[in-house]
Amino acid sequence: MIAFKQVQKQYPNGYSALKNINLQIQQGEYVAIIGLSGAGKSTLLRCINRMHEITGGTLLVDEVDINTLKGKSVRQFRRNIGMIFQSFNLVTRISVIKNVLVSFVPEMPFWRKLLGIFTEQQKKQALMALDRVGILDKAYVRVDQLSGGQQQRVALARTLAQNPKLILADEPVASLDPVTAHQVMDDFRRINKELNMTVIMNIHHVELALEYANRVIGIRAGEIVYDGAAKDVTEAVLRQIYNGQVEEGSSVVDVRQAVTN
């Protein structure tokens, strides 16, 4: 589904965020990308939907060289990719269902956008998406009345409503407490299994990556230093990925506990 071929990302100041990345991700995989801050995790993820442009190599999504897409083709391409952020990116002053319905706005006629009129089918899809993440009962509640975990579920429902082929998640549970983080991760796993939807996630919490993902990609200084099954991640592998460092505020505090869990 996704193929990186000698992909490089260099910024104008000369900093190399990605160095000769070779990687293939198949339909239906659940992949966790781990590594220190600044290692290139977010850059790799955001190159997939062209939030960041690569500066070398080839990046294919569904056999399409995405660097050749322009204008409207880029917008159409992004409709097939759901993006989940740590900050939720919701309009807190309006209801949950209205936030989910926002996912349909890009493809609506101008007059419907202007008047905010959605079809019955769109409303049905929005409600089904909320049901899938377990917050259908919150459909008509204002977003600012929800907990952080519930807001992240709204963001996930909004993504599901657009019926994407894959979901990219950039630190989706970083701001959540441990119990809520597990609940949200359960949602991602269920969606991955029930819909055979590809999920690619950047995550600082090593124990969550090992518990939920099928495959782990470890990045250090812009290079892939591990790519394999989550069950095969050992203390030695984590030391290689993190270069023996502990990141403040992350869960890479007790490597042994992360592996044994």
Query: If you average pLDDT over every residue of the chain, what do you get?
Result: 88
- Quick check: 141 and 135 in contact, CB under 8 A? no
Sign of CA dihedral 247, 259, 201, 16: positive
**Confidence (pLDDT) at 87:** 82
- What would the pLDDT profile of 86-122 be if each residue is shown by its tens digit? 888 898 899 999 999 988 876 767 777 667 788 899 9
- Starting at the earlier edge strand, list the strands of the sheet with 30-34: 81-85, 166-170, 198-202, 30-34, 215-220, 223-229
**Does the structure show a pLDDT above 60 at 257?**
no
**Does the structure show a pLDDT above 50 at 200?**
yes
**Confidence (pLDDT) at 244:** 73
**Does the structure show a pLDDT above 90 at 126?**
yes
- What would the pLDDT profile of 183-192 be if each residue is shown by its tens digit? 999 999 999 9
**Confidence (pLDDT) at 72:** 85
- Number of other CB atoms surrounding residue 77 within 10 Å: 16
Higher pLDDT, residue 162 or 115? 162
The least confident of 17-26, 62-71, 111-120, 125-134 is 111-120
Q: Summarize the confidence of residues 18-28 as an average pLDDT.
A: 95
Higher pLDDT, residue 259 or 27? 27
**Does the structure show a pLDDT above 60 at 250?**
no
**Does the structure show a pLDDT above 70 at 182?**
yes
